[in-house]
Structure 1
């Protein structure tokens, strides 16, 4: 019954009561010609009638007050319904903004609710999705298993990370991971199923009113049953029905609002993304668990507070306030990135601020969706480094081909030139010139052989095919033999001074790797220093380490080249016309690293260079790690 009908019935009852009063007055003041009839009604019964009518007048007035209260409560109920509808709209927008697909289905799998992401993943318009059985989207070969899992869900079991092959519209196939949770009613019965999936890459109490019967009313009822009983019964029925209506409606709205809030909170908190809702004043209306826990708070810590009360970073949050005000002003969403200190350390985030409108299309809040992009940025940085490395390696390969080709061309050109001289001198019979040409050819052939050896050796080092093979030997004797070998060259004009100290008579090192290191470093020192200048080799064996210092007084290495000097085929910017391949220092560095040693450089352009190599004297402790070793 509507409020208007209830008011009309109440007005009609008041009119009937007025008619009864008029009849009662006539009985008390009868006409003179009817005195004989009034004697038939005792004075006591007339008084009882008057008291009964007064009581029912009071009851109708009380009922009128209740009706007015009912109007007020109905108005409050309407306001509550409007607020609930606005809240439901807000939750709906949150529901649609979730980056994962969400569905609510019956126990048989018929879709009751779906967000926009689910519609996009299934490639079906949102309005056509509701009411469809979800099984139609499951690939045919997986439907039997799907029915089995559905039966398990009906028993109240949850399923996490259940991968299913989906056949969306237009035969587009994709694999999605499901997390399915049963929804229980107040009797703990499973009534619905809540699905999350993504692609794999308090009761309102109404005051009760009672109308009590009095002794006089009972007497009046016996006197006037046809008048009093219908009025009282009607009033009681209307009052009871109105109270019941208010109580049921209020309970239903309260339960619906509480359940909707709990379901939406579960959905939003199950995602790895953060969700925050703030009003125009900057106070937080809602924060999901992901966002709260990442900052070391609980959800309740945020509600009704601003970022200043929570002592969040000022610089970041002031910029956010400016962006939030811009979204309120323009109504357009805004996306940005920031770095934020969390309980897991500094993380990189991408956030989007979306406006939320009420039922009158007025923006009353904003939703902030926060996505952790730390791993994506790290992957992007690593990809950029890998790309730069690949580009550098490509450039290095091109440079190496050019250097090696140029070196081989020069050496072959020299050999062909000496052969032509031999042919000329052969006709003239000059044996001494021919002998000198043969020596020059031999030197160039040795250089070609050394170049090929260096290329093969550095290839083996980079491929991990070379392992240390330590043996016992006298380090002083080894160094002296190496210097003597260098001094046998025809063009050797430098002075090499050698000194050694410490326990050097029996060291356990790799002779071959040490030979490569010292030869390349001494060759470089000789090549880039003036003829007849001094080159020093100082060795010190202390604290289980051998330290080799190779010093020259040549052109030096520019500061900007020192970080790149150990890369293959790299040559300094000041070498000018000095020939070279850019392999010596690279080979030496890899041989040092292979023995778990260290190499460093100290150089000044135009003054000279000192290279220091530190190697362990006893490599036996590394034999088990390398799996090799021998004793000479």
Structure 2
């Protein structure tokens, strides 16, 4: 019950009391007694109704007190959120003068809160941006809200900073603009990070372009170098066969050196050409059924003479029931040759052994083990990286491009396999290659 209804009940009670008074004045003694009894009953009923109304008003007052307390709590919560927010909050009137500002805003603009009130916000915008600032404020009357507006602010006696500003319009009950709410966030660190990222992206693009140019250059130069070398190797072989009995021993030795050096240089160029194909993504596998045991035997026979020159034992062992697999025979042979040549190159005493075994029904494993100089633990992480060799001082004695293991690693991955190494210095190394029996085209 509201106050108006309660007041009406009180007025009704007054009127009933006045009517009772008039009736008793004009009535006889007998009528007065009856009229008094009737009027007292009516007054009792009216007082009960007033008591009920009083209880309702008391309950409503309690509800209002509770609501007022909740409103005060929410108001204080809003003030705390406004005051202690990490970003700057400012409230301006329709002319752009500051009416409220929280602590973060005062810190950003380097002005105490009490001195910010009444100052135009445009005072803290650089002079060259003020015209654009005024134009944007005029647009705000139509937009009602603007998010992530990037502005530069100049604090008092401070360094200018970049800010992301979100502005929303405030209106009175009649719909007239009465001001704006401003959220100001310092994005200097973000802008610096974005600039750094752009610089890194630009650098990456430049590196990618340089890598493409390098790969293209390597491919062209490898072809250009290989053509005359093929001629040198071919004519050297022909010269040795046709004139072996006619040439003096010294000249024959010279031709043999030319032939061996040409072959060695061809191997290096082949490595560079293969690596450039891998980098350019142009290396493909020609899959066919092949006998892995026969392939290992033929490859080790090719390397047998090199092992004999260093008095090394070249051994092989097989633990495989079905030796037929699907792979690229040329590239699988290249993997074996790279691992075997490295093993022989870095082994002075002992043996080199090739082992082949099955891993379940769908995978095989190949290991090349040697008793050579081994690889230091700190070099194991980079052994498969291009142009890197385990011990640069030792390997310079043996030559090479440093691409053999990088090419081997790429070929194994193309086949859907994986390669790993175990090694101890002066105790030898073992390279493990795990491959699927049937290499798929998409790999």
Aligned to 2:260: 443
The CA distance in 1 between the partners of 2:152 and 2:428, in whole Å, is 71
The CA distance in 2 between the partners of 1:445 and 1:465, in whole Å, is 26
Aligned to 1:364: none
The CA distance in 1 between the partners of 2:386 and 2:93, in whole Å, is 68
Give the Å deviation of 1:430. 5.5
Give the Å deviation of 1:526. 0.9
**Quick one: structure 1 residues 130 and 145, their matched pair in 2 at CA, closer, same or farther if it must change by over 3 Å?**
closer
1:496 aligns with 2:301: no
The CA distance in 2 between the partners of 1:138 and 1:152, in whole Å, is 20
Give the Å deviation of 1:614. 0.8
Give the Å deviation of 1:599. 1.8
The CA distance in 2 between the partners of 1:430 and 1:547, in whole Å, is 50
The CA distance in 2 between the partners of 1:535 and 1:454, in whole Å, is 23
1:106 aligns with 2:93: yes
Give the Å deviation of 1:603. 2.4
1:518 aligns with 2:336: yes
1:149 aligns with 2:140: yes
Check whether the contact 2:141–2:169 (CA below 8 A) recurs between aligned residues.
no
The CA distance in 2 between the partners of 1:463 and 1:128, in whole Å, is 66
**Quick one: structure 1 residues 468 and 146, their matched pair in 2 at CA, closer, same or farther if it must change by over 3 Å?**
farther
1:580 aligns with 2:399: yes
Aligned to 1:566: 384
**Quick one: structure 1 residues 152 and 587, their matched pair in 2 at CA, closer, same or farther if it must change by over 3 Å?**
closer
**Quick one: structure 1 residues 491 and 440, their matched pair in 2 at CA, closer, same or farther if it must change by over 3 Å?**
farther
Give the Å deviation of 1:520. 0.9
The CA distance in 2 between the partners of 1:166 and 1:138, in whole Å, is 8
Give the Å deviation of 1:524. 0.9
TM norm structure 1: 0.40
Check whether the contact 1:538–1:550 (CA below 8 A) recurs between aligned residues.
yes
The CA distance in 2 between the partners of 1:517 and 1:526, in whole Å, is 14
Aligned to 1:116: 106
Check whether the contact 1:558–1:572 (CA below 8 A) recurs between aligned residues.
yes
Aligned to 1:597: 417
Aligned to 2:181: 194
Q: C-alpha deviations, 1:64-108, integer Å up to 9, x for none?
A: xxxxxxxxxxxxxxxxxxxxxxx9xx989x95x976443211134
Instruction: Give the count of matched residue pairs.
Output: 313
The CA distance in 2 between the partners of 1:470 and 1:117, in whole Å, is 70
Q: C-alpha deviations, 1:12-33, integer Å up to 9, x for none?
A: xxxxxxxxxxxxxxxxxxxxxx
Cα RMSD of the aligned pairs, angstroms, is 5.1
Aligned to 2:304: 487
Give the 3-state SS of the residue equivalent to 1:477 in structure 2: helix
The CA distance in 1 between the partners of 2:185 and 2:299, in whole Å, is 68
The CA distance in 1 between the partners of 2:124 and 2:248, in whole Å, is 99
Give the 3-state SS of the residue equivalent to 1:499 in structure 2: strand
Give the Å deviation of 1:120. 6.7
Alignment of 1:280-291 (within 5 A): none
Give the 3-state SS of the residue equivalent to 2:165 in structure 1: strand
Give the 3-state SS of the residue equivalent to 2:265 in structure 1: helix
Aligned to 2:290: 473
The CA distance in 1 between the partners of 2:120 and 2:283, in whole Å, is 67
Give the Å deviation of 1:491. 4.7
1:455 aligns with 2:272: yes
TM norm structure 2: 0.55
**Quick one: structure 1 residues 504 and 149, their matched pair in 2 at CA, closer, same or farther if it must change by over 3 Å?**
farther
Aligned to 1:432: 249
- Match 1:547 to one of 365, 368, 386: 365
Q: C-alpha deviations, 1:403-462, integer Å up to 9, x for none?
A: xxxxxxxxx9xx9xxx9xx9xxx9xx8633422332222111111121222223223334
Alignment of 1:69-468 (within 5 A): 100-114=87-101, 115-116=105-106, 119=109, 129-130=119-120, 140=131, 144=135, 146-153=137-144, 158-161=145-148, 163=149, 176-181=163-168, 191-198=178-185, 431-468=248-285
The CA distance in 2 between the partners of 1:188 and 1:505, in whole Å, is 87
Structure 1 portions without partners, runs of 5+: 1-86, 202-370, 391-396, 398-411, 627-632
**Quick one: structure 1 residues 476 and 131, their matched pair in 2 at CA, closer, same or farther if it must change by over 3 Å?**
closer
The CA distance in 2 between the partners of 1:492 and 1:601, in whole Å, is 24
Give the 3-state SS of the residue equivalent to 2:341 in structure 1: helix
The CA distance in 2 between the partners of 1:167 and 1:551, in whole Å, is 69
